[in-house]
Chain A
Amino acid sequence: MVHLKTKEECRLGNETIRVYTVELPSKHAEGILKVIKENIEGQDVIDLQHLRRFAKPKYLPPHWSLPVRKRTEGRPPTLYLLVCPANLISLKDVHDLLLQHPPFCSSADSWAYPLEIKEITVPMLAPTSPEQAAEWSELYWPTFYRKTNPFGAHPSSISKAESELQEPATDNIALPDMMKLAEEAGTATEKLGYGIRTGCVIVERVDDKTEIIAVAGDARLKPLPSETREDASCTSGNVMSHAVMRAVGMIGRKRLRVASSTQARDAFFLDLPLTPLEQQYFERDNLKPDGYLCLKLEIFLTHEPCMMCSMALVHSRVGRVIFEHRMSRTGGLTAEMVRNDTGPVGLGYGLCWRKELNWQFMCWEYTAAEYALREKEKEKARVLNGNDTEGPDEDHPEQNTTTATTICTSNAITGSHDDVNANLGMPSFTSIHV
């Protein structure tokens, strides 16, 4: 189970910036910092609070390969100072500025080494996990994790949700069983010839107790009263009967039944149960009365939902979504457009967490842990290689590689559903809206 990256995390999370650093004796650290703060303008514009301002040599990335110096050589202890972003001032100007002040000015005698300003690459934005901070500290520069994520759900909310989902309290149904139930719902409607084997389960969590309140399979192919044989070949079928739309509809109907005396208007929506499995969960009056839409409910899906269903989940104010198979050509929840940690690259809408919409929810991909791990290793290797060779691409290590290698691996893991190398419009399962 891997939490999806948000649109902003994808766009910004890997951005880097060039900064100047300089080694200096510890006792002059504050003095030089003051000089920098007073003389270099525009430092407030870029927030680099996630980076240590001063770093001891021993905490710098191993690939800096700093010479091991011994105190006995009579050299005072030193620190490395992160001076400022390189785009604020030219190397020559910062050099000239520091030369005017101790310990670098000619009159100072405490510092016997030449002024050496180094330009390095650092992450521009705060890390969103302690692991990321540790990784960046090793790759770039000592980095703090401040337990915040401006680009998505708060890290503590994510870990709370993950522990609730992965370590269910007694009597609560385990995550794998929930995913299996979603699959069974899809299989049930498919067997009747009604749908394409995708399913949705909706769960309400009240005081740590979970209750399955709706189960629905896809029913886009259920023959319509109007349809003649030749029409039935329409591939998208009744778009409104995707599993998510049906399950959300069932919740509405159930609320009407449980919370009020109002009868549901029986317009032609396929949101009444079609299989015994769906009926079994629909007939129980087991949801909290006076609930609102699908506010904070938990959604378990066999597949990443299409744009219509993704936005339906936003409109319904759901709380958590877990899907099994990524739909790289029709899915609306994943945000990656260039490369990603958990599966093939999709359309990049990232509807689960868009600031411009009026609701956001947490979302996980169920079968991706192994893939994520492998990608992380690759990323690490990539950045290390990138830093060894000085080149124009050093700023964007992740752009050095094409997506080709990424895609091959992902196919092996996510299985037969995803033929990412195929073009848009090819008649495979990935081009179906789920």
Chain B
Amino acid sequence: MVFGPIPNREYHEGFMRKAIEMAELALSSDETPVGCVFVHDGEVIGRGINGTNASLNGTRHAEFVALAEIMAKHPPSILKDTDLYVTVEPCIMCASALRQFGIRAVYFGCLNDRFGGCGGVMTVHSDPGVDPPYPVYGGLFREEAIMLLRKFYVQENNKAPDPKPKKNRELKTEILPITTPNVATPGGGTPSLELNKPILEKAAVAAKAQITQMK
């Protein structure tokens, strides 16, 4: 239950507020607005914002920036008693890193439907694997997390090899209710949403496109 009820919600909202503040900082520094804090014994021990543009490194997500700060001061084992608060669901890469570190729990704002690793696209946090799984709780300040991302994506990305003009894009403010996220990808299987797609039809279209390309 990624979006199940969160016990003691107000306590967790306090830390998610700090994560949102980090995301706002990211937005003002031209980075994808994702922010996070790691909390150990009620104390923030690491904070991070997405840094992919500044570092020219596509793996420099907020979680990694914060983890690097933590590693400088604490042994990796501290993460076993540490919770993560992040505005957007951790991606597949971060979800795996967190699991290998043995994070205690992850709280997030909105789902990441492009490459989420905790229910959005895959369920790396709970799939069968050699490391123990960890619980995830989504939906804390979800609307704010989404609006931050939308504000960013109406901007143009001049660093991309082929920047898309986005002059005509408008900032939408309507937030749709949560759709049921994928619950599990046992053994790395394809999430349920893909199973419903007419695969053959899709395959035929792809094949035709390839033939056309060759001509």
Contact = CB atoms under 8 A, between A and B. Distances in A.
A240 B77 contact: no
A288 to B, nearest CB: 12
Chain A interface category by residue count: 35 or more
A236 B101 contact: yes
A191 interface: no
B44 interface: no
A379 B75 CA distance: 50
A295 interface: yes
A238 B71 CA distance: 8
Contacts of A227: 75
A337 B185 CA distance: 12
A137 interface: no
A45 B54 CA distance: 49
Interface in B25-82: 51, 54-60, 64-65, 67-69, 71-77
Contacts of B60: 252
A251 interface: yes
B58 A316 contact: yes
B206 A150 contact: yes
B68 A268 contact: yes
Nearest to A357: B115
B6 interface: no
B175 interface: no
B149 interface: no
Given A231-B77, A358-B115, 16 more contacts: A147-B211, A148-B211, A224-B72, A224-B76, A231-B76, A237-B76, A239-B100, A240-B68, A267-B68, A269-B64, A311-B92, A311-B115, A315-B91, A332-B96, A356-B121, A358-B114
Interface in A376-434: 424-425, 431, 433
Contacts of A295: 161
Interface in A231-277: 231-232, 234, 236-240, 245, 248-249, 251-253, 255-256, 259, 262, 264-265, 267-269
B178 to A, nearest CB: 19
B123 to A, nearest CB: 11
A236 B211 CA distance: 47
B176 interface: no
B76 A424 contact: no
A75 interface: no
A348 interface: yes
A252 B130 contact: no
A125 B199 CA distance: 11
A282 B39 CA distance: 36
A239 B99 CA distance: 10
Given A150-B203, A337-B189, A356-B121, A236 B51 contact: no
A224 B204 contact: no
Given A252-B56, A311-B92, A268 B71 contact: yes
Contacts of A316: 57-59
Contact of B75 (A156, A234, A256): A234
Interface residues of B, number: 62
Of A149, A236, A248, A355, which is in contact with the most chain B CB atoms at under 10 Å from its CB?
A236
A366 interface: no
Given A46-B200, A148-B211, A251 B76 contact: no
Interface in A111-134: 124-126
A424 B130 contact: yes
A267 B73 contact: no
A350 interface: yes
Contact of B130 (A228, A293, A330): A330
B214 A240 contact: no
B167 interface: no
A148 B115 contact: no
21 contacts: A45-B200, A147-B211, A147-B214, A150-B202, A226-B75, A236-B100, A236-B101, A239-B100, A245-B59, A253-B57, A255-B56, A268-B72, A307-B124, A311-B93, A312-B93, A314-B92, A329-B129, A348-B187, A350-B188, A357-B114, A424-B128
Given A47-B203, A224-B71, A356-B121, A238 B114 contact: no
A69 to B, nearest CB: 37
Closest 10 CB pairs of A and B: A252-B57, A311-B93, A231-B75, A349-B188, A307-B96, A150-B206, A150-B203, A308-B96, A268-B72, A315-B58
A411 to B, nearest CB: 19
Interface in A318-335: 329-330, 332
